[in-house]
Amino acid sequence: MKDDERSLPEGDANSGLSRRQFLTTVGTGAAAAMLARYGIQLPAQAAETKPNIILILADDLGYGELGCQGFTKDIPTPNIDSITRNGVRFTDGHVSCPVCAPTRAGLMTGRYQERFGLELNPGPPQSASPNFGLIKTETTIAERLKPLGYTTGMFGKWHLGYTAGLQPPDRGFDEFFGFLAGAHDYLNPLLDSPNPIMRGREKVDEKEYLTDALAREASAFIERHKGEPFFCYLPFNAVHAPLQAPQKYLDRFTSIQDNQRRTFAAMLSAMDDGIGKVLAKVREHRLEERTLVIFLSDNGGPTRQTSSGNGPLSGFKGQVLEGGTRVAFMMQWKGQLPAGKVLNDPVISLDIHPTVFAAAGGTLPADAKLDGVNLLPSLKGESKQPPHDRLFWRYGQQWAVRMGEWKLLNLGAGQAPQLYNLKQDLGEKRDLATEKVDKAKELQTVYDGWAAQLPPAPTQGRGTRRAGARAGNRAGNRAGRRNRANAPAPAAAP
């Protein structure tokens, strides 16, 4: 019998509990003292229990769409909002790219994805290069956690490799349920035959609404592994197009007359329900104080395609304007992070990898060369310095650099750089490049120094704000047309 599976001696009220379950119930210190009475010594690492990690990623969720963000009120999101009440909300949280696959590459590795060539979306599996994917020389957070004793599971959208050797089971995940490409039908998985729902490496015929199915699988994973440290990665495809929702969710929003907005609301509400189920499972097993929960979106909202709004921000998915990269971003870890804290310093999704690894008690190897930083000192009040003094973005021919309140960006080849003071102009409405020439030159020099470390940028040929949005949302446009053809008509409002 494994050491952590030994039961407590007979006659104790907690007889039959594993050591980890016993620690969960009575606390590490009390458990160690009680076990000592029976001559049982806890291993050194058991005295400092490793936290569980739950990383939840929404897809194409606009910055302004959650109740806790304070911009729109037509879609209640109580479960997602609870993460901010119980933890920390980042008002200036970003992702490393304004579209799906590159952001996920940076999220998994903690490194700017341009460094290893995953800078653009790949297209659907049937047309993408067979070599597309997260290269094996890069280490995922799942691969880094496994040697620390974590069981790892992923439930949802991968988008980091289609072929054998590049799929989730090859990149550190013990369990996988989901799909490999960038979008999926929610109601009839068989319509996505090139991109099937998979369990591990096997295709499955899933009958349940896909958002519900992903939450179901994540909750079951937590149930199975509640007695050991686990990493649960839950990348929903909601609220990415196609806009599809079953009637039970549509019926919640009969007051919304616009069909597109009503279906989007139903999809977001379904995801909020799913997150509620996952959080309830954590509470059920009294794991809240040993579970770090992280929620964010993979990029800003494609408003025209799905109605997903970015609040006061300029721009959309597919652009390096704030509306493309600034996202809803929050963390909860009861007893470790303050409840109800708001952090206004700029942070980025690259920070999740080192933060999670530090929370797990790991020490990064000297050659890790991560671009993200451990946020725990800032969140716990142990550091007064902002986590970053500069942030960078490059998405093909678009690029941006952020230093303090200043941001210099370029929306594509042939465009002039634009300079904004985000403290005074969050909506990026007043370009100061011709007024603050020295500041623009300073940021340009900083960006050029960073870009010189990277391979040459791929050519997209889409430079304007409108073209940038089209570049980021070609898949959304196709899915939108498909939605109009396939989505069930909602019931008439009473």
Check residue 400 and give its pLDDT.
Answer: 98
291-344, pLDDT tens digit by residue? Answer: 999 999 999 999 999 999 999 999 999 999 999 999 999 999 999 999 999 999
120: nearest Cα among 375, 348, 459, 431: 459
Residue 87: phi and psi, rounded to 5, are -155, -135
Question: H/E element holding 232?
Answer: strand 230-235
Give the start-end residues of each E strand in 62-131: 88-90, 93-94
User: What CA–CA distance (Å, rounded) separates 294 from 26?
Assistant: 26
Q: Give counts: helices (H), strands (E), the chain.
A: 15, 16
Which domains does the chain possess? Answer: 3-47 (no CATH), 52-379 (3.40.720.10), 391-472 (3.30.1120.10)
The CB density around residue 326, as the number of other CB atoms within 10 Å, is 26
Check residue 460 and give its pLDDT.
Answer: 61
227: nearest Cα among 2, 442, 388, 66: 2
pLDDT band at 228 (very low <50, low <70, confident <90, very high): very high
Structure token digits, residue 333 = 């870890």
Question: Which residues does 434 contact at the CB level (< 8 Å), separation at least 6?
Answer: none
178: nearest Cα among 221, 143, 115, 136: 221
**Residue with the larger pLDDT of the pair 466 and 20:** 20
Q: For the chain, give the number of residues.
A: 494
Check residue 129 and give its pLDDT.
Answer: 87
User: What CA–CA distance (Å, rounded) separates 479 from 476?
Assistant: 5
Check residue 345 and give its pLDDT.
Answer: 97
167-200, pLDDT tens digit by residue? Answer: 999 999 999 999 999 999 999 978 888 999 999 9
User: What CA–CA distance (Å, rounded) separates 192 from 181?
Assistant: 10
Question: H/E element holding 116?
Answer: none
Check residue 269 and give its pLDDT.
Answer: 98
Structure token digits, residue 366 = 């000297």
293 three-class SS: strand
Residue 492 has pLDDT above 90, yes or no: no
124-161, pLDDT tens digit by residue? Answer: 888 888 889 999 999 999 999 999 999 999 999 999 99
Active site residues: 100, 159
74-93, pLDDT tens digit by residue? Answer: 999 999 999 999 999 999 99
Check residue 465 and give its pLDDT.
Answer: 38
State the average pLDDT for the chain.
87
